[in-house]
Amino acid sequence: MSIQKGGPTIAVAIATAGRRDILTQTVVFLNNQQRRPDEFFICPAHPDDVDTGALSAYDGAITVLSGPVGSSHQRNVMLTAVTSDIVVFFDDDFLPAADYLAQVEALFANDPTIMIATGRVIADGARGPGFDFEEGLKLLDADVPGGTPSIEPTFNGYGCNMAIRMAPVRARTVRFDENLPFYAWLEDADFSRQLANDGRIVWAGQMRGVHLGTKKAGRSPGKRLGYSQVANRIYIHRKGHMPLGQVLSGILRNVASNLVGSLKPEPWVDRSGRLHGNMLALRDLLTGRIDPRNIIDM
């Protein structure tokens, strides 16, 4: 691995909400990194989402920032605070391989055309019931890194592990769109496309990790997410950051999944709620009232 002397500085940033214990486990786990971050930020939705005492087990300095509730809002608070050359956004339940940050450093140092890089998710619990911490560790330990690094173009970074070059972000004050509230469905895609004209957005197989996809106890009400599955895509398309074909196929896929799933829902998904949200958004689309911010009043 070739790393330039005096290579780029790296910040780690984690937005978190309602997962105090898993956040602590993830942060302490980051002691595994061969290349330590130069800055480390956490922005919780609420002060009690962070156990500051338990975080002392992390071998380094952590800055906890406060900001408005919402993934985009919290990420923007940290973007403003970062002074490093690169910021790596991790979800509060993403377990990176020990060489993750070292691979980020090498990738960005050796290729100045890369603006955003997202890594290989060995296993993604967000697509199912999720993994507990011990399961995640086993999945990570069982993964064998490939030989030649694999770098491929991709439409957008995946928000659970996304490395961003800060120079163009600072030059044009690029931010996550705060009109996408709460979970801010697809805010990673919208942000990525804002940097698409500055350079390359890539998937880098040598940046590896496991996304636990931690679920809160019981099913999270799905109406807001269902609405966002439609409204956020329409909104991002109207900004010019998502092609119509991708919008339509994504909406169709989500509505079909929620329709079929509502007949026999998974224990961890509120399919009927999501379907209800889908229908509300389609109604608002037809009446000209569709807006991602409508979920605030739901």
Q: What is the pTM of this model?
A: 0.94
pLDDT digits (tens, 9 = 90+) for 68-92: 999 999 999 999 999 999 999 999 9
Q: Are residues 72 and 161 in the same domain?
A: yes
Q: What's the number of domains the chain is made of?
A: 2
Q: Are residues 197 and 287 in the same domain?
A: no
Cβ–Cβ < 8 Å for 163, 118: yes
Quote the DSSP letter at residue 15: E
Residue 4, domain member (yes or no): no
- Cα–Cα distance between 269 and 262 in angstroms, integer? 9
Structure tokens at 75: 């990420």
pLDDT digits (tens, 9 = 90+) for 214-258: 876 544 679 999 999 999 999 999 999 999 999 999 999 999 999
115: closest CA among 193, 15, 39? 193
Structure tokens at 16: 């978190």
Tell which of 211, 240, 273 closes a domain.
211
Q: Are residues 202 and 244 in the same domain?
A: no
Residues of the chain with pLDDT below 50 are 1-4, 218-219
pLDDT of 31 reads: 97
Its domain, for residue 261, covers: 223-297
